[in-house]
Amino acid sequence: MKRVDITLEAKTKPEPESENFVIKTPIGRLAIKIVNEALVKIDLNSRKAIRAGHSPFAKEIQRQINCYFEDASFKFDISLNSEGTEYQNRVWRALQDIPLSQVMTYGELASKIDSGARAIGNACRNNPIPLIVPCHRIVSASGLGGFSGQLDGKLIDIKKFLLVHEGALLI
> Nearest-CA neighbor of 58 among 40, 45, 85, 46?
40
| Beta bridge mates, 31 | 22, 43
> Nearest-CA neighbor of 55 among 28, 30, 32, 77?
32
72-94 in b/e form (b: 16+ CB < 10 A) is beeebeeeeebeeeeebeebbeb
- Do residues 78 and 59 touch, judged by C-beta distance below 8 A? no
Task: Give the integer Cα–Cα distance in Å for 87 and 84.
Answer: 8
CB within 8 Å of 16: residues ≥ 6 apart: 35, 36
The one catalytic residue in 30, 31, 135, 162 is 135
Residue 135 annotated as catalytic: yes
Task: Give catalytic residues, as residue numbers.
Answer: 135
